[in-house]
Chain A
Amino acid sequence: MAKGFPIKRQPGFATIAMICFFLLYLPIVTLVVYAFNANSSMAVWGGFSLRWFYAAWNNEQVIEASLRSLRIASVAAVIATICATMAALATTRTRPYRGLTAKYAFINQPLMVPEIVTAVALLIFFSRIKVATGYSGLGYLILAHTAFCIPFAYLPIRARLENMDLTLETAAADLYATPWKTFRRVTLPLLWPGILAGFMLAFVISLDDVVITEFVKSGGQDTLPTYMLGQLRRIVTPEMNAISTVFLAISVVIVTLFFLVSRRRT
């Protein structure tokens, strides 16, 4: 065979891939560009302006919803990451024991059930509890978000643990370290990138959630996504683009960090 014959090439594949990437980014780029449009009509370009960012910044509902989103996401992601770390420690680096497969299935359960079904189930369940206890705070949203964030936090932590062997821990134990000390000084530092990746994943997932939040929230508990969903029913202004752009920027930053953290090898 002639040297340099490109065996991996398939005709047209690169073209289709380029079209895909173009189409994937065209709507997003358009959205971002029009966030800087001075004109209030979305069809006409009226020059560069930051007025819609100012408008969003001065919109009390937007700020309130954003802060609520951040509050829910941070609490839910922290709890979910702690639980997921413990669960990952309990389900890796062991001989199979009874109930291990069941545990896997259970932890991944939120990934398998359609979101709308979970949303409906939580709506029914929480409405009962609301009537029974009279409590209608953010707790329900935080609880719901924590539960569906656990499998997302669990994935990278477990992957990281599976690549760590027990040699160092055994060595620490041989040197009379207590189990807790071994965990703090050996396991935790090694596991840290996985935990960080898990946390960021959980954070983004919670920040992005629309469906479950839409069903679980009580009146006046809009998060940024549910606020935007409500707005999309009306005539939208470029303010929506400005909010989306900021949201997008946050996601991009977190994803980039996630990539950097999870690519780092020991």
Chain B
Amino acid sequence: MASASEIAVERDKADIRKRWLLSAPALFLIFIAGTGPLFIVIVYSFLAPGNYGDVKWEFSTDAWTGVFLERDMFDDTLSVADAHLQIFLRSAWLSLVTTVLTLIFGFPTAYFIATRSEKSQAFWLFLITIPFWTNLLIRTYAIQEVIRNEGIVNTVLLWTGIISTPIQIMYTDWAIALGMIYVYLPLMVLPLYASMEKIDFRLVEAGYDLYATRFQVLRRIVLPLVKPGIVAGCILVFIPSLGAYVTPRVLGGGRNLMFGNLIELQFGQGRNWPLGAALSLTLMVIVMGALIFYVRNASRGDRRHG
């Protein structure tokens, strides 16, 4: 006869088996249309490009060297691929600008929301959430309407006489940065708010009791407390900025490419699927690196606070 503990172990095992069965459909679908195809991308990055898109089934590392280097058409020497490097740098730079500016604008906004009464907090959060759930394309189009030559910004500036000819904002790097700041601002505000909401304001009060100035309170008490929120917000903005595709395509007008557009190009006019695959994997490695940095940082923060 089985003892009570054996029965309990059996029951646990049955429970875990049931839990695996329950999660099987979700895991299966994500594997089929998410994780699995990523492995195919790895394979494709080591093949040679076909003449009309797709690939030729022969091993080649050209795609990977092509990410950073380019082969001279005439004498076959390798040199740094300036065009690619320029696009990488633009992506990194624009993502950085976007992250910093959304932080500068998002921090006070999140703080403002977090210090309202509970009822009005819900209202302000709702106002932040609406644009967040509005189609990205619509928001990008909305920004385009504001900054184009006949848009509001130029109309107002012309009317006031500050400028005499419209400023060309569309199709510049600034347009892309502006669009990304606009589109990703809620992604910065929401995690910041989540960590600010938890601030124990008795600490702030204690600071004032000890004759701290408002700035000192902000720097020495509030900032350290919301650091996890700042890191989370920066990661949440930086990662999609780096892989942005729609915003630079619409606002950059196809001239100012970013990483995402470079990848798309290989599957369209470029007809170099292996290079596109290698570029995608490069982007993914960078993003994963950022995520690992975040996870490490977050877990260290947890330990410190207890």
A interface list, Cβ under 8 A from B: 1, 5, 7-14, 16-17, 19-21, 23-28, 30-31, 34, 42-43, 79-80, 82-84, 86-87, 89-91, 94, 97-99, 103, 106-107, 109-110, 112-118, 120-125, 127-128, 143-144, 146-148, 150, 154, 204, 207-208, 210-211, 215, 225, 228-229, 232, 236, 240-241, 244, 247-248, 251-252, 254-256, 259, 263
> How many chain-B residues does the 8 Å CB contact rule pick out?
91
Closest chain B CB from A19 CB (angstroms): 8
Closest chain B CB from A242 CB (angstroms): 12
Residue B32 at the chain A interface, CB threshold 8 Å: yes
Contact B133 A204 (CB under 8 A): yes
Q: Across the interface, which residues of A come within 8 angstroms of B271, CB to CB?
A: none
B interface list, Cβ under 8 A from A: 15-16, 18-23, 25-27, 29-38, 40-41, 44, 54, 105-106, 108-109, 111-113, 115, 122, 124, 126-131, 133-139, 141-146, 150, 152, 155, 182, 185-186, 189, 201, 204-205, 208-209, 214, 218, 239-240, 242-243, 245-246, 249-250, 259-260, 263-264, 267, 273, 276-277, 280-281, 283-284, 287-288, 291
Closest chain A CB from B285 CB (angstroms): 10
Q: Give the distance in Å from the alpha carbon of A129 to the alpha carbon of B212 in the complex.
A: 66
Counting from the closest, the 6 A-B pairs by CB-CB distance are A114-B243, A17-B112, A27-B142, A121-B37, A147-B33, A90-B22
Contact B40 A240 (CB under 8 A): no
Q: Give the distance in Å from the alpha carbon of A86 to the alpha carbon of B145 in the complex.
A: 44
Contact A16 B26 (CB under 8 A): no
Contact B267 A215 (CB under 8 A): yes
A-B contact pairs, 14 of them (CB 8 A): A20-B109, A25-B131, A28-B139, A80-B29, A86-B23, A90-B21, A106-B31, A109-B34, A109-B35, A115-B240, A116-B263, A210-B246, A248-B135, A251-B130
Q: Give the distance in Å from the alpha carbon of A208 to the alpha carbon of B242 in the complex.
A: 20
Q: Give the distance in Å from the alpha carbon of A91 to the alpha carbon of B41 in the complex.
A: 30
Contact A112 B291 (CB under 8 A): yes
Q: Across the interface, which residues of B come within 8 angstroms of A240, CB to CB?
A: 141
Q: Give the distance in Å from the alpha carbon of A240 to the alpha carbon of B141 in the complex.
A: 9
Contact A118 B146 (CB under 8 A): no
Closest to A15 in B: B108
Contact B19 A34 (CB under 8 A): no
Q: Give the distance in Å from the alpha carbon of A43 to the alpha carbon of B152 in the complex.
A: 9
Q: Which of B34, B209, B245, B250 contacts A110 (CB 8 A)?
A: B34
Q: Give the distance in Å from the alpha carbon of A107 to the alpha carbon of B24 in the complex.
A: 11
Q: Across the interface, which residues of B come within 8 angstroms of A251, CB to CB?
A: 130, 133-135
Contact B136 A210 (CB under 8 A): yes
Closest chain A CB from B203 CB (angstroms): 10
Contact A26 B40 (CB under 8 A): no
Closest to A128 in B: B40
Q: Across the interface, which residues of B come within 8 angstroms of A103, CB to CB?
A: 23, 27
Closest chain B CB from A29 CB (angstroms): 9
Q: Give the distance in Å from the alpha carbon of A248 to the alpha carbon of B141 in the complex.
A: 12
Contact A7 B25 (CB under 8 A): no
